[in-house]
Amino acid sequence: MCGIVGYIGSREAYPIIINGLKRLEYRGYDSAGFVLNYPEGLEMVKTKGKVVDLEDKAQGVKLHANIGVGHTRWATHGVPNDINSHPHMSNNGNLVIVHNGIIENYEAIKIKLYSEGYVFHSETDTEVLVNLIEYFKEKENLNLTDAVRYALTEVIGAFAIAVMDSQNTDEIVVGRLGSPLAIGIGEDEFFIASDASPFVEFTKDAIYLEDGEMATIKRGEKVKVRKIVDNKEVHPSIHELQLDLEQIEKGGYEHFMLKEINEQPKSIHDTMRGRLLPDEGIIKMAGIWDHMERFKKAKRIIIVACGTSWHAGLVGEYLIEELARIPVEVEYASEFRYRNPIINKNDIVIAISQSGETADTLAALKLAKEKGAFIYGICNVVGSSIARITDAGSYTHAGPEIGVASTKAFTAQLTILTLIALKLGKHKGNLSNERFMSLCYELSTIPSKVEKALNTNDIVKKISEIYKDAENALYLGRGYNFPTALEGALKLKEISYIHAEGYPAAEMKHGPIALIDENMPVFVIAINKGHYEKVVSNIQEIKSRSGQIIAVVTEGDKQVRDLADHVIEIPECSEEFSPILASIPLQLLSYHVAVMRGCNVDQPRNLAKSVTVE
């Protein structure tokens, strides 16, 4: 987590850094800071709070340098306060650093530095690192690049760092292990950032550092990339960014989350574009096709993911088992990586991750790879760490998702999983041509059905008004829509701070039903497919105990309408596609409730978009 940004060139660095930090704020937003490097010395401002607080604090400060770095923080070591905020300065006041990641052995390094007379002002691991760099620089009389390299070889953990020396206003040194870092290459200027969004309007050319690489960025020179471990020079590829400014702005919406919810017809369409040819009955997915024999022979697919992506994985389990008849297990990446899992060569491990940077998911994949599994990635962020280490994969093409609560990335993940399940089902001979064609055709109509589902906004807003003060909520679903219930509950709790739980509807009787009283809103996904009658019985059971029922139903439904307190209608669809459509009103509901409760929708407390620490 945390976002880092930097600039070196002939423009004013401050506005680039501040705007860049605003774009990276999704990565962490409990404190922020920057440092500008003038020939006369450093100008550093940092504060607890958000980037707007930093801007306030910077008023009246000299802000005209053309080299500097900035940071937005999600606290790991030390509470969010001014002192723990980045940048951090070394003891002699010359070196400054911004850091994203965790230095696991910082205590040991700190003890060593204490014995050399170093003192520390913050509780952070980062302050230890900048002093270790200073220590090498001074003791071994090294230049900045070599001092950074020496220090990084002693470090255990994860980092993306940018370091400057007050004695040199022409250079920034960066390094990466486990946390992302992009370098934007302009004409006689360079940008540094955790992702490319801070510099997208200035250049389309970027280098993405690989794990274990560092770079020296010098005014007027080519970027020099080398391996941290042995100082070997690396010739990096320059990538052309596919991102544009419009994609990362709010486009007239009050919040990114609302924009992203409304973008879903397009993001789902973009995810299918060029892949699904419904009239020809063709699904083109090179990542699957190139490894079809492996998929056909797979004894098992294991899906690893976290949070919303894990919920997508659960829907994937239903889809792949039903359509392709391959056994699927879905694991929390954080559990999988630490329990010595049994993995065989014929297993396929699929990681699902919007950011492609989630530390636990990345570690789970690395473990699976070590144990010989074929690893496949479903990521949204192009060029992300997971996308790079996998043997093959499919991008979701949802476009940048900035709201911390995942919405369009989730439905894009469901779309990719459906395409994969259909393709495997067809090539394994589990699906008749007729069923395959009909599901392909229906999938192609999903963007317009999502458009219709978005029309529930007004009714959802009214329902939100009624339940906005609830302290608890239950979400129930069965089959494909059990994960939808989990996802609905996660959306509500993460942005409105209402305690919410998702359950398979039939599990109610085994405990949760004790919670039902007249104050408990129960959101039930009760579409007219699959286990409809059973869900109706579950609704009866809740009604008999005075629970408030809000049901997501298929348009035209009568039976549930008679029982429920409120119904939200979504378009008719096959069960396979219902999680996509049923999620839409649940996303809208959590959005409206959070807005009505005065919560920060795009940056909920304690969270960050990209969880790059375990």
Over the range 354-366, which residues count as b (16 or more CB within 10 Å of their CB) and which as e?
bbbbbbbbbbbbe
3-state secondary structure of 395: strand
Closer by beta carbon to ligand M6R, 358 or else 457: 358
Closer by beta carbon to ligand M6R, 377 or else 571: 377
| Contact (CB, 8 A) for 535 and 575 | no
CB of 495 to ligand M6R, least distance (A): 8
Closer by beta carbon to ligand M6R, 85 or else 583: 583
Closer by beta carbon to ligand M6R, 548 or else 603: 603
Cα–Cα distance between 574 and 438 in angstroms, integer? 10
Q: Count the neighbouring beta carbons within 10 Å of the beta carbon of residue 408.
A: 30
Cα–Cα distance between 589 and 583 in angstroms, integer? 10
Say which of 2, 379, 440, 573 is annotated catalytic.
2
CB of 354 to ligand M6R, least distance (A): 4
Give the Cα-Cα-Cα angle 340, 341, 346 (nearest 5 degrees).
Answer: 140
Closer by beta carbon to ligand M6R, 109 or else 379: 379
Closer by beta carbon to ligand M6R, 383 or else 530: 383
Say which of 204, 423, 493, 609 is annotated catalytic.
609
Q: Any residues with CB less than 8 A from the CB of 297 and at least 6 apart, and which?
A: 346
Closer by beta carbon to ligand M6R, 268 or else 567: 268
CB of 593 to ligand M6R, least distance (A): 15
| 151: amino acid identity, one letter | A
CB of 29 to ligand M6R, least distance (A): 13
Comparing C-alpha atoms, which of 280, 269, 272, 173 is closest to residue 224?
A: 173
Closer by beta carbon to ligand M6R, 148 or else 611: 611
Q: Any residues with CB less than 8 A from the CB of 551 and at least 6 apart, and which?
A: 523, 524, 525, 526, 539, 560, 561, 563, 564, 566, 567, 568
CB of 590 to ligand M6R, least distance (A): 10
Cα–Cα distance between 25 and 280 in angstroms, integer? 44
Q: What is the DSSP letter of 309?
A: H
Closer by beta carbon to ligand M6R, 385 or else 418: 385
Q: Any residues with CB less than 8 A from the CB of 29 and at least 6 apart, and which?
A: 50, 51, 72, 73, 74, 603, 608
Cα–Cα distance between 320 and 430 in angstroms, integer? 11
Cα–Cα distance between 532 and 538 in angstroms, integer? 10
3-state secondary structure of 5: strand
CB of 494 to ligand M6R, least distance (A): 6
CB of 251 to ligand M6R, least distance (A): 21
Cα–Cα distance between 251 and 59 in angstroms, integer? 28
Cα–Cα distance between 208 and 320 in angstroms, integer? 34
CB of 491 to ligand M6R, least distance (A): 6
Interface ranges with ligand M6R (CB under 6 A): 306-309, 353-355, 358, 361, 404-406, 490, 494, 611
Kindly write down the DSSP assignment for every residue of 556-602, as one continuous string: T--HHHHH-SEEEEE----GGGHHHHHHHHHHHHHHHHHHHTT--SS
Closest residue to ligand M6R: CB criterion: 307
Q: Count the neighbouring beta carbons within 10 Å of the beta carbon of residue 32.
A: 33
CB of 261 to ligand M6R, least distance (A): 12
573 catalytic, yes or no? no
Kindly write down the DSSP assignment for every residue of 167-233, as one continuous string: TEEEEEEEEEEBS--EEEE-SS-EEEESSSGGGTTT-SEEEEPPTTEEEEEETTS--EEEETTT--E
Instruction: Write out the catalytic residue numbers.
Output: 2, 609
